[in-house]
């Protein structure tokens, strides 16, 4: 008997924007992530200023857009799926690109070549007994919505999005059982461009730190700007909740065999000291993080969040009938990405950069990845226990993993024992959580085949079991080769999580 349930879904995760490539082929249109350009190996590109977007659009021919290349899954899907099957994958998390089906987002009918591509991929997966798990929107929207409609801030996007989402269910419901609505829905509050297509400085002067080497120091930004940021991102979030709930209801009504989950980024936060002030700050952050699940899993806005809006002057323009829509569109399961934890202090002056997205404090008891993400499997166990009690729903770990710089040795091999160590400890924490009584039914480490980093828009930060020979500028053969972790993960799957050595 293993600690993991018999039909546990082992697999890996990708997203269309970072993996698929073929971005301008066969009639495909461009999404807002296709306009994020590479600026250097360690420069995050999550914030899009108006002038950056104008530059990306006007200098399209000369700039370097790694997302448009991805790693060429579009042409190599058969080879890639064969590699996943060789590892014994039971599930493959991928996303569909809205603009491959509806190139500008405004069409009435989908592009037939795009429709056929995803049928081919699903068919190939099923050939090997691999279940697709499809993220409907992994950070992507047709560029026109970001350029002209303020992204998700405006409700105008909702009918167009619903046309796309309903099409997905109608067309693919017999091939896809597991769906997620929005990837990391909470990230819109941290990275408004990425999650919501929001160009912040349309709304006034927005001072980014010189050189843009990290997330803005929120303490240094003017209060009005922060409030505007909060206002816009929570308005965008509201519209995403509406679209998500509407498609959940639609799927429940028309495709009863399908299960739909949310997807949020979980980052456990410890109080720096046992002082009641630090504890309360940690509690506030926790409630904030959980509120993204509350709305989608319980079907209503938690009182805590409504009071946060009131205290911070956030005025949501509520969508007509939103309470009923949310109540009728509760998700079937919770899904999450988990990479790191951090430490919270009540002192607003003391914040450090954590990875590419966050500003909190580092934990002296934990080690950092090369990219400053603190490695903490125990926090995963703690959080899973918490989620079990709060929602009582099955849980899917949609992302987890270690990003690292990697180069093959003289024999062309990647000995990624650091990745094996990271995943081993997280899988142990998962098994412990399952023993604690948490209903976890699947695990898909991020970027199972190397792909473009989301925060850095580059190939240099790699997560895969499979190495892809490509660099940040798009040089390379794009050939695939197996890292040491490939063989290790194959054993893990074959033993249903027992053989972790
Ligand atoms: C998650 C996203 O935030 O983290 C992925 O859903 C992303 O799209 C992953 O790639 C890892 O982040 P990064 O910046 O290391 O690629």
Three-state SS sequence of 270-288:
EECCCCHHHHHHHHHHHHH
Please name the residues in contact with 361: beta carbons below 8 A apart, sequence gap of 6 or more: 272, 342, 343, 344, 345, 350, 351, 352, 354
Q: What percent of the chain has pLDDT over 90?
A: 78
Q: Which candidate in 20, 184, 272, 406 is catalytic? A: 184
Choosing from 272, 285, 399, 406, the catalytic residue is 399
Q: What is the pLDDT of residues 419-441, one digit of tens each?
A: 999 999 999 999 999 999 999 99
Any atom of ligand 1 within 6 Å of the Cβ of 480: no
* Per-residue pLDDT tens over the stretch 95-128: 999 999 999 999 999 999 999 999 999 999 999 9
CA nearest neighbour of 71 among 415, 495, 450: 450
Q: Does residue 499 fall inside a structural domain?
A: no
* Spatial separation of the C-alpha atoms in residues 153 and 150, rounded to whole Å: 6
DSSP 352: E
Any domain includes 408: yes
User: Which residues, at least 6 apart from 423, have a Cβ–Cβ distance to it below 8 Å?
Assistant: 400, 401, 402, 445, 485, 488, 489, 492
DSSP sequence for 321-345: THHHHHHH---SBEEEEEEEEEEE-
Q: Which of 354, 454, 456, 472 to mutate to test the pocket of ligand 1 (most atoms within 8 A of CB)?
A: 454
Where in the sequence is the domain holding 14, given as residue range(s)? 9-494
Q: Please check whether residue 501 lies inside any domain of the structure.
A: no
Specify the number of domains making up the chain: 1
Decide if 361 is inside a domain: yes
Q: Are 31 and 98 in contact (CB under 8 A)?
A: yes
Distance 415 CA to ligand 1 centre (A): 22
C-beta of 183 in contact with ligand 1 (< 6 A): yes
CA gap 164, 184 in Å, rounded = 19
Q: What is the CATH number of the domain that holds 469?
A: 3.20.20.80
Measured in Å, residue 353 CA sits from the centre of ligand 1 at 17
d(CA 205, CA 231): 16
Say if 478 falls within a structural domain: yes
Whether 132 is covered by a domain: the verdict is yes
pLDDT of res. 222? 66
Max Cα distance, the chain (Å): 63
Exposed / middle / buried, residue 310 (Cβ in 10 Å: 0-12, 13-18, 19+): exposed
Mutate to test the pocket of ligand 1, among 20, 446, 458 (most ligand atoms within 8 A of CB): 446
Ligand 1 pocket test, pick from 292, 399, 456, 457 with the greatest ligand atom count within 8 Å of Cβ, gives 399
Q: How confident is the model at residue 235 (pLDDT cuts 50, 70, 90)?
A: very high
Q: What are phi and psi of 373, to 5 degrees?
A: -90, 125
Give the 3-state DSSP-derived string for 391-441, with helices as H, strands as E and coil as C. HCCCEEEEECCCCECCCCCCCCCCCCHHHHHHHHHHHHHHHHHHHCCCCEE
Confirm or reject: Cβ of 461 under 6 Å from ligand 1: yes
Nearest to 185 by CA among 163, 157, 150, 152: 152
Q: Lowest mean pLDDT: which of 89-98, 202-211, 364-373?
A: 202-211
468 in helix, strand or coil?
Answer: strand
Answer whether 44 contacts ligand 1 (Cβ < 6 A). no
What six digits make up the tokens of 309?
């809006």
Rg of the chain (C-alpha set): 21
Residue % of the chain over a pLDDT of 70: 92
Is there a catalytic annotation at residue 399? yes
The verdict on residue 482 lying in a domain is: yes
As given in the structure block, the two tokens for residue 343 are 């430490």
In a domain, 500, yes or no: no
pLDDT tens per residue across span 319-339: 999 999 999 999 999 999 999
Round the average pLDDT of the chain to a whole number and report it: 91
Per-residue b or e along 264-303, where b marks 16 or more CB atoms closer than 10 Å to that residue's CB: bbbbbbbbbeeeeebbebbeebbeebbbbbbbbbbbebee
Confidence of residue 207 (pLDDT cuts 50, 70, 90): very low
**Helices and strands, counts by H and E, the chain:** 17, 13
Best CA proximity match to 465, nearest among 378, 406, 398: 406
Q: Whose CA is nearest to atom 5 of ligand 1?
A: 454
Q: Is the pLDDT of residue 210 over 80?
A: no
Indicate if the pLDDT at residue 202 is higher than 70: no
């Amino acid at each position: 008997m293993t600690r993991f349930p018999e039909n546990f879904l082992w697999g890996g995760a990708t997203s269309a924007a970072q993996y698929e490539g073929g971005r301008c082929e066969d009639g495909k249109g461009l999404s807002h992530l296709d306009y994020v350009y590479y600026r250097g190996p360690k420069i995050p590109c999550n914030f899009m200023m108006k002038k950056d977007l104008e530059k990306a659009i006007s200098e399209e021919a000369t700039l370097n857009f790694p997302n448009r290349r991805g790693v060429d899954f579009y042409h190599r899907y058969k080879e890639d799926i064969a590699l996943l099957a060789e590892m014994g994958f039971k599930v493959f998390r991928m996303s569909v690109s809205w603009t491959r089906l509806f190139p500008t987002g405004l069409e009435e009918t989908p592009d037939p070549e795009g429709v056929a591509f995803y049928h081919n991929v699903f068919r190939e997966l099923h050939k090997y007994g691999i279940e697709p798990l499809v993220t409907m929107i992994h950070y992507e929207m047709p560029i026109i919505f970001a350029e002209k409609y303020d992204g998700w801030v405006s409700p105008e996007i909702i009918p167009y999005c619903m046309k796309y989402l309903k099409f997905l269910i109608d067309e693919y419901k017999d091939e896809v059982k597991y769906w997620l609505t929005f990837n990391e829905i909470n990230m819109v509050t941290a990275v408004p461009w990425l999650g919501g297509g929001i160009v912040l400085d349309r709304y006034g002067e927005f001072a980014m730190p010189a050189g843009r080497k990290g997330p803005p120091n929120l303490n240094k930004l003017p209060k009005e700007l922060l409030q505007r940021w909060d206002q816009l991102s929570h308005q965008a979030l509201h519209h995403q909740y509406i679209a998500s709930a509407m498609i959940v209801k639609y799927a429940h009504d028309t495709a009863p065999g399908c299960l739909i989950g949310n997807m949020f980024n979980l980052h456990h936060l410890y109080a720096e000291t046992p002082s009641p002030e630090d504890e309360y700050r940690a509690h506030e952050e926790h409630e904030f993080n959980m509120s993204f699940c509350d709305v989608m899993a319980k079907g209503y806005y938690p009182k805590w969040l409504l009071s946060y809006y009131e205290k911070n002057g956030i005025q949501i323009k509520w969508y007509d009938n939103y309470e009923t829509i949310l109540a009728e569109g509760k998700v079937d399961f919770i899904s999450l990405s988990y990479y790191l934890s951090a430490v919270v202090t009540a002192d607003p002056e003391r914040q450090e950069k954590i990875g590419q997205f966050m500003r909190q404090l580092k934990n002296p008891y934990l080690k950092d990845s090369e990219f400053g993400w603190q490695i903490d499997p125990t926090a995963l166990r703690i959080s899973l226990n918490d989620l079990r009690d709060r929602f009582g729903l099955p849980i899917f770990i949609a992302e987890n993993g270690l990003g690292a710089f990697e180069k093959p040795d003289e024999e062309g091999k990647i000995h990624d024992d650091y990745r094996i160590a990271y995943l081993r400890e997280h899988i142990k924490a998962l098994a412990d959580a399952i023993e604690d009584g948490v209903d976890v039914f699947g695990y898909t480490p991020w970027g199972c085949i190397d792909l473009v980093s989301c925060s850095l828009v580059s190939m240099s930060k790699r997560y895969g079991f499979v190495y892809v020979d490509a660099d940040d500028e798009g040089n390379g053969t794009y050939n695939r080769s197996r890292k040491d972790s490939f063989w290790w993960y194959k054993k893990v799957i074959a033993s249903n999580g027992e053989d972790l050595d």
